[in-house]
Structure 1
């Protein structure tokens, strides 16, 4: 029996992107300078004379607190000097990347030394760090100028091997070959779920992404805008790479159609699931594990036992359908205190720092003091020497597998396409999906992903095929490109998203071509949804 849709929150629309990011550097500087003081964790009184280390990060309060406390004490014991860690948290990883690129580009254009506001960038996934390691180049008065957001750190091969071993997990490097960023933990992406909500909906515990694509979850999923979160973009990319471009988008469309809300932060999903506002969400592993641990601790504290002591929140990595990605750190170009920044990196990658990720809370010795962080260490020796002390008995090197046929162009399309098909017109999407799932030919108890080829009713097959269709966008010299043709994605990415076709008249000169592509895609999806809704109205 299908459950009534829960009260729906309005979709969060992403802020309009400006066509010239040079106009926001002043606001950026204020954010980066003020944020460390706004978000400082309460604790021991700060020493006004202690050197300050400013770290820009999307990490949550629990991580910030444990690493601040541990590093400050480690540094005083090792170097005989008190230091003060200050956190700057201006947004999610994608937003931080845009802000930093804007700041450093503005400095180049103004002839000012780049950076100088913070020492380190920590957290968010390898894609964002790979972008920030690339050169930034401008030309002012015929003079070329260049810099990069992340600076090179001097390291030795022996130092790298002592931490990373061969430096790989599956097909993923653990550090930048140019030594601009270094992985500090390992992350996977999966499903956080509320056991009580699942019981009320009458659905089993989810184990794969497509388990969330059934009508029973209508109005009971929290989704996140991938344009605001690098980790969620990586989770979506994992679905597309593992399941394929077509099936991957079929799953993402159905998840979006089942969404109660679209959050602007990857932390929102686990919070809503834990509160029982939704039944499931896509999330990064440690957010899901943390909420699962918190509710389990509460159940035990309440005197519950057996199955009742599991807690109401659980987390699962879909087997064979996720990826494992390092969580990097890097020194910012122009760092005010590069020596202290290097010491922090050394600490995070040491046994002392790595134990904070997986050891249980302890009053002394290694491990966290207040929060079990539930992240997987990246230091290889931890799995040999300390694995029995881990809260989660998971060795990522035994489960990581390379993607069979990776397509590096996919990621660039995730944010504009998802926003166009879902965030920009969430209610229309959901109304169209409701016409499909209420069609007499739709399976009453669907097993697996329902596609046009898996139903026998011709009208329903046509509606599903239209629902799953991709936009066709213009190319040079009157050509066109169906975004459903995965083999053409790299060409479209280079032409549209990287401005390779800027001289072809496909978009206004002052416009952002990614936003223009998004509008073209939105027009396609709206037309499809409205046609499906009209079919439902005429047959109803």
Structure 2
């Protein structure tokens, strides 16, 4: 019996050992596969649309077959929530979201790119392309979209300068985006404030607003309304117009001499699960091959590698050949963005009707009495008197709701008084 039990025990041990060996082998195989999956997968977070991502994804995976992109689509606000709350690793952040990159830089969320940057300039006409551990992967230019056919039918010239949009013939025919509602618009508004100066910039924005229909959301609405002829022109960013033109829209785009750029960036996250794959993708995006993809009809962005413009399509704008009237300070614009957005709402968005009424009254009085008539001058000065100066505005980050409400009320009363003075007989 003892011998029988010993044999059974031995057989049981042998069976268990065999079973454990199989489990261990399976575990090792699965671990090996998991390890392979981790080293091959590159997680890229972006807000770029499918038509942009698909071009880069296909070209990157063809050149680097050892890697497979996994795309996380997140808009700006959702991206920051993901980074702060999810705890899930992201290898590369690649998107046009300037404020996010600035915030993540302060949070020390990036690691050094550690890739070759030969041939990549640090600026384009003074506009910086590198900030900390993130680097611009493309830029977009601000300017004016117009409908030449509709303008010709109305007997109006094609606008090439911001001030052209303030001319009387454009009354009710200009699309003006609200910076607190339209993602690309804050730098656009601040370009005018920096380029013309705080007071003159707001004066010009008021004059344009007198002719404007405000755009509250959806950047493509500007090109849609201008292409239809319902509006004659609008303030926008170049690639929306380029895309519309590629799809047959009868549009034209002009870069005013005083303009600026909106960069998209690429960065490697500090806690990237696949840093080597992240480096490969970042290097590809910035390479000549990756930069040339920006010329694709479905993308139409401005490369940051100057050399690729030798192969640009006919008529494609080259920012490296542009001679700007000034260099837009992007860092300053970002720092005061909430204040300028709030002021735009108080001065224009929430007071558009009284602003337009006051300007029409001033124009009428000026035509009858002369531009330098005392009541015209007084009305204009009152209309253009701002509720806060530049230094004070920059110190408010962010402005309180009470500040915004007070600015709105002050400007409402000034517009009404300006209209009353101008209308006196």
Please state which band the TM-score falls in when normalised by the shorter chain: 0.7 to 0.9
Q: How many Å separate the matches in 1 of 2:126 and 2:329?
A: 10
Q: CA deviation at 1:183?
A: 0.8
Q: CA deviation at 1:265?
A: 3.5
Residues 442 and 455 of structure 1 are in contact (CA less than 8 Å); yes or no, is this contact kept in structure 2? yes
Normalising by structure 1, what TM-score? 0.63
- State which structure, 1 or 2, has the greater radius of gyration over its C-alpha atoms: 2
Question: Which residue is 1:429 aligned to?
Answer: 355
2:394 equivalent among 483, 493, 500: 493
Deviation string, structure 1 residues 119-170 (Cα, Å, up to 9, x no partner): 44333264552233113xxxxxxxxxxxx4x4123415xx12x1414x2223
2:120 equivalent among 164, 175, 184: 164
Greater share of residues in helix: 2
Q: Which has the higher contact order (CA 8 A, sep 6+)?
A: 2
Q: How many Å separate the matches in 2 of 1:118 and 1:277?
A: 44
Aligned residues: 384
2:114 equivalent among 136, 145, 155: 155
Gapped runs of 5+ residues in structure 2?
1-39
Q: CA deviation at 1:246?
A: 1.8
Q: How many Å separate the matches in 1 of 2:332 and 2:139?
A: 23
Q: How many Å separate the matches in 1 of 2:59 and 2:328?
A: 42
Q: How many Å separate the matches in 2 of 1:313 and 1:443?
A: 37
Q: 1:443 to 1:292 in 2, by over 3 A?
A: farther
Question: Which residue is 1:55 aligned to?
Answer: 45
- Tell me whether 1:220 sits opposite 2:169 in the alignment: no
Gapped runs of 5+ residues in structure 1?
1-49, 91-95, 108-113, 136-147, 296-310, 359-367, 445-453, 472-481, 498-511
RMSD: 3.2
Q: 1:210 to 1:492 in 2, by over 3 A?
A: closer
Residues 420 and 519 of structure 1 are in contact (CA less than 8 Å); yes or no, is this contact kept in structure 2? yes
Residues 128 and 230 of structure 1 are in contact (CA less than 8 Å); yes or no, is this contact kept in structure 2? no
Q: How many Å separate the matches in 2 of 1:255 and 1:75?
A: 50
Question: Which residue is 1:86 aligned to?
Answer: 71
Q: CA deviation at 1:99?
A: 4.4
Q: CA deviation at 1:85?
A: 4.3
Q: How many Å separate the matches in 2 of 1:240 and 1:64?
A: 34
- Tell me whether 1:200 sits opposite 2:167 in the alignment: no
Q: How does 1:320-469 map to 2 (within 5 A)?
A: 321-332=258-269, 334-335=271-272, 337-358=274-295, 368=296, 371-383=297-309, 387-401=310-324, 403=326, 409=332, 411-412=336-337, 413-437=339-363, 439-442=364-367, 455-469=371-385
1:238 equivalent among 178, 182, 191: 191
Deviation string, structure 1 residues 457-505 (Cα, Å, up to 9, x no partner): 222222222221100xxxxxxxxxx41xx4xx1x5523x32xxxxxxxx
Partner secondary structure for residue 182 of structure 1: strand
Normalising by structure 2, what TM-score? 0.79
- Tell me whether 1:122 sits opposite 2:94 in the alignment: yes
Q: How many Å separate the matches in 2 of 1:443 and 1:340?
A: 70
Residues 95 and 264 of structure 2 are in contact (CA less than 8 Å); yes or no, is this contact kept in structure 1? yes
2:251 equivalent among 313, 321, 327: 313
Q: How does 1:275-294 map to 2 (within 5 A)?
A: 275-294=228-247
Question: Which residue is 2:223 aligned to?
Answer: 270
Q: How many Å separate the matches in 1 of 2:54 and 2:354?
A: 42
Q: How many Å separate the matches in 2 of 1:420 and 1:462?
A: 21
Q: CA deviation at 1:192?
A: 0.6
Q: 1:423 to 1:73 in 2, by over 3 A?
A: farther
Q: How many Å separate the matches in 2 of 1:455 and 1:258?
A: 19
